[in-house]
Structure 1
Amino acid sequence: MKKFLRNVLCICLAGAMTFSTGIYNTLPTSLGSTRVFAEEKITYKASGARESIYCEFLPVTGASKYEAVLIDSSNVQTPIDDELIRQYNTFIRVDALGLKAGSYKIKITAKDSSDNVIASAVTDAVSSTDYKRIGFAFPDGATALGGYNADGTVKDNALVFYITNDNKDSIACDIVTNSKGQLTSCTGLGAIIKAMEKGYETRSFIFRFIGHVDCPASEQKLNQLDIKRAANITFEGVGSDTVAKFGFNIVESNSIEIRNLGFKDMTTKDEDAVTIKDQSKNIWIHNNDIFYGGQGSDADQAKGDGGVDLKGTSTNITVSENHYWDFGKVNLCGLGESADYYVTYANNWFDHTDSRHPRIRKGSVHIFNNYYDGVSKYGVGVTSGGSAFVEGNYFRNTKYPTLISLQGSDLAGGGTFSGEDGGIIKLFNNIMAGSYTFIEGVNRASDGTVTYSNEADGYTVEERNEKLPETLKCLNGATSYNNFDTTISIGATASQVLQPNEVPAYVTKNAGRCDGGDFSFTFDNSVDDTSYEVNSELTAALAAYKNNIIEVGGTVTKSFDTSAKPVSMTGVDGNNFSEERNNNITSFINTLPDQTEEEGNKAKYAAKAADLTLMPSDISVSTVSSQLDNLGTDGAFSILANSNKTVSVSTSKGIQLGGAGAADYRCIKVTTQKDGTVSVMSSSTGDDTRVLAVADSNGNVVGTINTGDSTPISISAGTYFIYSTNKGINVS
């Protein structure tokens, strides 16, 4: 079925909810020869949402058909499409989509088999609110994207389709397939999208999915809907319960929007929920629930492959207000890029996820106002010369909030990113709470002097528009931060960015499908904050999560089962799960700290581990003429030498620094993730004073130790070099 809609109707979250009973005539009456039927009462609850409103109401005895009309603040009435009325066992729901912000009502009418009105009600006014059109998909402010205008209304030239599991392979449309305007008749969602590859179709399209929908028959090879060389399309779910059991593969496409969908069992062949690649641009992925995909072929694909993955220099992309449920590899950002590209991640809920939030190669990426809620591996990861601006996020029990490849915590942990070069992460106004590890790269002295270390996990600035110096380069790859956030429009002004202490409440209320969707699961933070194994209880809950719609449209063909388990979102049928879930979340959010907990940083204040030690017995007796790594406790030490400036190891004299050294030769290098002290037992065969220097990663000497003196020197977490300032010294 296809329809042209102009002043039409969308969904999602927020706004007030009303609960009422509409009662009209209570007794049969007659006016002349015209009979007026007594109207039963209609019990309903109405709620406002994002660019939509909806109403849930109880079935009326004797009703054969339900109709709905939207009433705006000027009392203009517009019929609501029949497909937007869905019947459940215990209630009926109608959504009005495609609304600009404002106040609206819905009139509900129940008719009998003779088309007589037997009940009706007009809801109280509720409010439709805007989606946040923000970030690099909207660098110049809110603009039209997909099938919708910037104000949330349907574009004038848009075609609207309603997709169910029953009609996904039978819907029909004529698509323009050549420069002369030739129309090709296409049947099935896959065929319609396939025909757009020709690149001649200029109309906009909105595909509205209803209920749980399997992959179209033509797309089941990879279980992804291929969208190639297409433009101006919105794919969206209707209501709070739509699920796509397949992914989307966006290739060389422009102005594509995917919203209000649940993704479940969507990847069965190592594919993603959403893939964006090959120079696609102006893409907006928002307000989706992303659950487990099918298990992939690799060990790290037990929870499915990628959530939302970007590749091939795709640019001007916003990924926002999505809810990722214990997902493994959340967001790959970059693979095979030929130039810089621009991506925004905003207001997402990373709910007990593992890694890649995102994992960046090469691009310029703004990451703000996300809630990292018990992340077991790492938050933001940057490699291959990437530049990331990490702003206003809330990290709760995130093992490593940020990592840069082959430096800082990543280097100390043996490397996470396949040996790729590093990049630079700029941080501003984030909160890190609970347990985490973060090595700061900016050192601000009391005299105002600022120095930078390339042995860090990121660089925290004091002002949003502060630039990082070009001289600051990552340890591997030697690239600097490109300061994109201060030189181009990033589609998010300071006033549009929440304070980090506001993020958990906002994100848990707004991320995911309309009103948080109809799926609920409670994680055990004591286990799930640190576990990256598949959650068997979540797996079982998702397996039991089924489609509850018994009929699409207002015509009643099946009996309502009033003894069935209630499933409504508003509680009109007595189901209070949504309210209880939201109350539990709010209660937990209210316990969160509103500023960074420095004492939780394992790089500084964790319970003291065993001392790092390096003994001569840790090294084979020999002459060291090149770098020797992974020595001593936890492999924390290295010896740096070269063919001219060698270091010897003997059984009697220990580690022999045979003359003056520096930070790159004839020295001992140590990396520590905690604040502490360094002490050295040393001696010499001469009777003069010989001195060991302890220098930080910038070459600054933080202390000296005379031979024979083992007085400790206090150091902060980081990398240090120990070498003789003048003559040979034996370290024992």
Structure 2
Amino acid sequence: MKKFLLSVCALLSMVGAQAQDVVTHAVARDFNVNQAQIIQTSGDKKYYNTTDVSAIDLDQATGCITVNLGTGTDVFNGSVSGIVFTKKLSNAQGVQIIDAQGWLESAYVKFADYAGATTYHVYVKGGKYADFTRIDDQLIRSYGTYNRADAMGMKAGEYALKVVPVIDDTEVEAGANVVSGLVVRNYNRDGYAHHQATAGIGAYNNDGTLKSDARVLYVSKANAKTVTLEMQVGSNKYETRTGIQSIIQAYEKGVETRPLAIRIIGLLKMDDMPTLGSSSIGLQVKGKGQNMNLTIEGVGSDATFHGFGVLVRACRYVELRNLGVMMHEEDGISFDTDNEHVWGHNLDIFYGRNHGGDKAKGDGSFDVKGTFYCTVSDNHFWDSGKCNLNSNGDEVDYVTYRHNWYDHSDSRHPRVRKSKHLHVYNNYFDGNAKYGVGATTGSCIFVEKNYFRNCKYPMLISKQGSDIHNGVGSAADTKGTFSSEDGGIIKAYDNFMTGQKSFEPYVAGHTTYSKHFDAYVVENRGDQVPAEVVTLQGGTGYNNFDTDADFYTYTPTDTQDVPAVVTGWYGAGRCEHGDFQYTFNNATEDANYDVILDLSNKLEAYISSLVKIYGDMGAVTADPDPTPDPTPDPEPQEGNIICTFDGSPSNSMFTVSSTTAYGDGKITYDGTYLKKGVKLDSKGAICFTPQKDYNMILVLATAKSGRDVKLNDVKTTVSGTENTAGAYYELQPIALTSGTTYTILKGSAESLVMMIKLVEVNP
């Protein structure tokens, strides 16, 4: 198997919108032939049999990829992030592989029954696993017509999965098969939840691996009431707790901090659960202010809570991910009261119970109250009525909403009170009948690079502008949306809108639009809102928090790419977009805010197709190869090593700090186009420990002025050579010693590290 070490992320034309891809020759995934896999920036993949391909060409200036075939050509106009070549299955007589894909910090394989097999063993290789390593048996399930196994807790990289049938407790190696070329990406950890955090949020390190000494608990409908786990409840005092709610309630004692990943398998309904901690919402996750290091996550594409939601209180370092929530009694997810560093992402949130009026679709889908340093990201909201309340009058601040898919949801995306540091970026507003972002009660919101499609009012400020029809018209026109609350203020940058009823930007000196505006729109991200720009009711000005030096680092998606990225393979919602699908009719549903009866009935009747879990559901497992954060297990090092950077290091020997940002360098080195590099500013750092003596060559982008770095706090003094055509600066070799840990930091000026080459001294 070969892999192109190139990244050609989407580039917009200098003269207009990006040209459309022309793809007419791609074929279906076929595990019985060698294939080239074109990975698009959205995460979607196109496949070509290598016997049909004569050449794959790259235009380094535009990032355009052309696939040349005997029957014609396919063209990807700057929409490709990687190319992977995958081998055909080596064993035609082995387990039949139906499907296999890499996802976010996980990969799965679907396979047919093997004659006589009573169970299966599945192994993973890649990343920190130099050899095939067996995954937990609980991750292997039967769905009647096929089996599925999910490997989890994986850092970004390329992986292989091996399926071995077992007959009479003996592995049948002759029936084994291996599928390779599975591309795994990291979850995007940009946002306030990770800002100033001292470790990964939840049970996982920031590289996607389980924290050292983490425990894993598997929960399904079969054991939700009976599963047991030892929990610390006092100084040197431990109890064995029974049932998922009782286990979680042990955190209320304030002493349990061991990392715990609770993995949900299949459908859990109210009748399957023990007595829950919150009568109104459901499963209560409550701490006592300690760092809980807790992740509650779904396995595969079908982990679902039906009839209840999740309430999070007094928690630190808690994560919810890859779960479906439907027909909940009140809120779907509620981060409520005294939380810090909490993160909810890749959730599918559907209707709640119909309580009539403004609760016909349930209450809040994902509300944030009494919470600081929080990220709500990569979630798919399905026709929600009230998506994201941010403060009910309580103190909430430092919250990020990004890469969410507001799929025909009506309002509150979010609806904000009081928060002074609120960042809303890269969300896809997709047919929203009432409004997008709502600012009230002195809040300050930075709304950046979102895509609004048929959102009635993309942004509203209470008691001015579009909220009250500029104060002109009937009483109904001028009533307002937000119970006459004082206005909050919005700074907007580089948002795209189409099909809106009204959006009114601030216009200095204008009789109407200097008072009645929906947002202050800036031309450049770093532009500040002038002090004289204040809300009509309440006189709130913008605090320009987004231009402060201590604002977190992040890499936004280009605005025009937001729909493709958010709805793409690695985008919003659960793995594989979840097991429940529903297609909205834009013509009727964009402007409709009533309950869709057909959707409601399907959610009420939803059942799981899960038939069997092969593993012992009473067992507590641990990572077979735990990795402390931030130092990963080194990969075997043979010969020269090259590491590039496109959102993450291409070689796992290298790690970047959680505060490190990536920037556009856009260089061409030895014929390979590289877009992004590690930004070495005051927060950037690259760490690694070579296992042999090497000479290190650093390749810096000329887009930044830095021409040196600090290596273990000592500034480099070697000279370098600038390549104007390639837009890079290559430093002379620097000697490295085997077994020494090196940290690369900012030198005399900020720089962009595009590539690190290690040339073995004594090969």
Question: TM-score, normalising length from structure 1?
Answer: 0.68
- 1:255 and 2:317 aligned: yes
Which residue does 1:86 correspond to in 2? Answer: 141
Q: Distance in 2 between matches of 1:424 and 1:543?
A: 40
Out of 485, 488, 507, the position equivalent to 1:420 is 485
Cα offsets for 1:369-401 (capped at 9, x unmatched): 000000000000010000010000010001000
Does the 8 A contact of 2:95 with 2:112 survive in 1?
no
Which residue does 2:431 correspond to in 1? Answer: 374
Which residue does 1:184 correspond to in 2? Answer: 239
Please identify, of 280-289 and 479-488, the stretch whose mean Cα deviation from structure 2 is larger: 479-488
Out of 261, 286, 294, the position equivalent to 2:345 is 286
Query: Aligned AA for 2:315?
Result: S
Q: Distance in 2 between matches of 1:470 and 1:356?
A: 27
Out of 136, 160, 165, the position equivalent to 2:221 is 165
- 1:305 and 2:363 aligned: yes
Out of 156, 159, 164, the position equivalent to 1:101 is 156
Deviation at 1:490, TM superposition (A): 3.8
Inter-CA distance 16–100: structure 2 relative to 1 (3 Å threshold): farther
Does the 8 A contact of 2:488 with 2:535 survive in 1?
yes
Does the 8 A contact of 2:231 with 2:256 survive in 1?
yes
Q: Distance in 2 between matches of 1:479 and 1:352?
A: 31
Cα offsets for 1:138-185 (capped at 9, x unmatched): 22589511000010000012111011011011111121111x220022
Query: Aligned AA for 1:261?
Result: L
Deviation at 1:488, TM superposition (A): 5.2
Q: Distance in 2 between matches of 1:72 and 1:104?
A: 5
Does the 8 A contact of 2:408 with 2:590 survive in 1?
yes
Which residue does 1:217 correspond to in 2? Answer: 274
Report the 3-state secondary structure (helix = DSSP H, G, I; strand = E; otherwise coil) of the residue aligned with 1:194.
Answer: helix
- 1:525 and 2:586 aligned: yes
Report the 3-state secondary structure (helix = DSSP H, G, I; strand = E; otherwise coil) of the residue aligned with 2:363.
Answer: coil
Please identify, of 374-383 and 137-146, the stretch whose mean Cα deviation from structure 2 is larger: 137-146
Does the 8 A contact of 2:393 with 2:418 survive in 1?
no
- 1:203 and 2:258 aligned: yes
Out of 497, 501, 505, the position equivalent to 1:432 is 497
| Identical amino acids, percent of aligned pairs | 41
Inter-CA distance 440–92: structure 2 relative to 1 (3 Å threshold): same
Report the 3-state secondary structure (helix = DSSP H, G, I; strand = E; otherwise coil) of the residue aligned with 2:411.
Answer: coil
Q: Distance in 1 between matches of 2:567 and 2:181?
A: 25
Deviation at 1:409, TM superposition (A): 1.3
Deviation at 1:14, TM superposition (A): 4.5
Q: Distance in 2 between matches of 1:512 and 1:183?
A: 37
Please identify, of 124-133 and 482-491, the stretch whose mean Cα deviation from structure 2 is larger: 482-491
Does the 8 A contact of 2:327 with 2:603 survive in 1?
no
Query: Aligned AA for 2:245?
Result: G
- 1:553 and 2:614 aligned: yes
Deviation at 1:483, TM superposition (A): 1.1
Q: Distance in 2 between matches of 1:353 and 1:427?
A: 21
Query: Aligned AA for 2:502?
Result: T
Deviation at 1:474, TM superposition (A): 0.6
Alignment of 1:205-354 (within 5 A): 205-215=260-270, 216-219=273-276, 221-229=279-287, 231-245=292-306, 246-266=308-328, 268=329, 271-296=330-355, 299-312=357-370, 314-338=371-395, 341-354=397-410
Q: Distance in 2 between matches of 1:355 and 1:501?
A: 23
Deviation at 1:491, TM superposition (A): 2.8
Which residue does 2:556 correspond to in 1? Answer: 497
Report the 3-state secondary structure (helix = DSSP H, G, I; strand = E; otherwise coil) of the residue aligned with 2:180.
Answer: coil
Q: Distance in 2 between matches of 1:273 and 1:507?
A: 21
Higher-Rg structure is: 1
Deviation at 1:436, TM superposition (A): 2.5
Inter-CA distance 517–461: structure 2 relative to 1 (3 Å threshold): same
Deviation at 1:22, TM superposition (A): 4.5
Q: Distance in 2 between matches of 1:142 and 1:320?
A: 20
Query: Aligned AA for 1:372?
Result: F
Which residue does 2:566 correspond to in 1? Answer: 507
Deviation at 1:311, TM superposition (A): 1.2
Which residue does 2:621 correspond to in 1? Answer: none
Query: Aligned AA for 2:442?
Result: G
Query: Aligned AA for 1:308?
Result: F
Out of 195, 210, 220, the position equivalent to 1:154 is 210
Report the 3-state secondary structure (helix = DSSP H, G, I; strand = E; otherwise coil) of the residue aligned with 2:251.
Answer: helix
- 1:44 and 2:98 aligned: yes
Cα offsets for 1:274-301 (capped at 9, x unmatched): 11122201011101111111123x5100
Does the 8 A contact of 1:387 with 1:425 survive in 2?
yes
Inter-CA distance 323–48: structure 2 relative to 1 (3 Å threshold): same
Deviation at 1:221, TM superposition (A): 2.6
Deviation at 1:341, TM superposition (A): 1.2
Q: Distance in 2 between matches of 1:401 and 1:40?
A: 54
Consecutive unaligned residues of structure 2, counting only runs of 5 or more, are: 1-41, 48-85, 470-476, 617-763
Which residue does 1:696 correspond to in 2? Answer: none
Does the 8 A contact of 2:231 with 2:239 survive in 1?
yes
Consecutive unaligned residues of structure 1, counting only runs of 5 or more, are: 1-12, 27-38, 556-732
Q: Distance in 2 between matches of 1:397 and 1:15?
A: 25
Report the 3-state secondary structure (helix = DSSP H, G, I; strand = E; otherwise coil) of the residue aligned with 2:611.
Answer: strand
Number of paired residues? 517
Does the 8 A contact of 1:15 with 1:47 survive in 2?
no
Query: Aligned AA for 2:491?
Result: K
Which residue does 1:5 correspond to in 2? Answer: none
Q: Distance in 1 between matches of 2:515 and 2:599?
A: 40
Inter-CA distance 317–244: structure 2 relative to 1 (3 Å threshold): same
Q: Distance in 2 between matches of 1:113 and 1:528?
A: 55
Q: Distance in 1 between matches of 2:46 and 2:284?
A: 38
Cα offsets for 1:549-593 (capped at 9, x unmatched): 1001269xxxxxxxxxxxxxxxxxxxxxxxxxxxxxxxxxxxxxx
Deviation at 1:23, TM superposition (A): 5.8
Inter-CA distance 116–409: structure 2 relative to 1 (3 Å threshold): closer
Please identify, of 524-533 and 544-553, the stretch whose mean Cα deviation from structure 2 is larger: 544-553
Query: Aligned AA for 1:256?
Result: V
Report the 3-state secondary structure (helix = DSSP H, G, I; strand = E; otherwise coil) of the residue aligned with 2:193.
Answer: coil
Q: Distance in 2 between matches of 1:116 and 1:103?
A: 26
Which residue does 1:57 correspond to in 2? Answer: 111
Inter-CA distance 371–331: structure 2 relative to 1 (3 Å threshold): same
Question: TM-score, normalising length from structure 2?
Answer: 0.65
Out of 179, 196, 210, the position equivalent to 1:123 is 179
Inter-CA distance 331–497: structure 2 relative to 1 (3 Å threshold): same
Report the 3-state secondary structure (helix = DSSP H, G, I; strand = E; otherwise coil) of the residue aligned with 1:125.
Answer: strand
Does the 8 A contact of 1:356 with 1:381 survive in 2?
yes
Query: Aligned AA for 2:559?
Result: P
Which residue does 1:685 correspond to in 2? Answer: none
Q: Distance in 2 between matches of 1:464 and 1:233?
A: 35
Inter-CA distance 202–114: structure 2 relative to 1 (3 Å threshold): closer
Does the 8 A contact of 1:21 with 1:42 survive in 2?
no
Inter-CA distance 453–175: structure 2 relative to 1 (3 Å threshold): same
- 1:442 and 2:497 aligned: no
Does the 8 A contact of 1:87 with 1:554 survive in 2?
no
Out of 162, 165, 175, the position equivalent to 2:231 is 175
Cα offsets for 1:693-712 (capped at 9, x unmatched): xxxxxxxxxxxxxxxxxxxx
Q: Distance in 2 between matches of 1:373 and 1:54?
A: 29
Does the 8 A contact of 1:289 with 1:322 survive in 2?
yes
- 1:110 and 2:159 aligned: no
Does the 8 A contact of 1:367 with 1:391 survive in 2?
yes
Query: Aligned AA for 1:321?
Result: D
Out of 126, 151, 168, the position equivalent to 1:72 is 126
Alignment of 1:587-602 (within 5 A): none
Does the 8 A contact of 2:219 with 2:262 survive in 1?
yes
Cα-Cα RMSD: 2.3
Q: Distance in 2 between matches of 1:254 and 1:234?
A: 11
Does the 8 A contact of 1:51 with 1:129 survive in 2?
yes
Query: Aligned AA for 2:426?
Result: N
Which residue does 1:398 correspond to in 2? Answer: 455
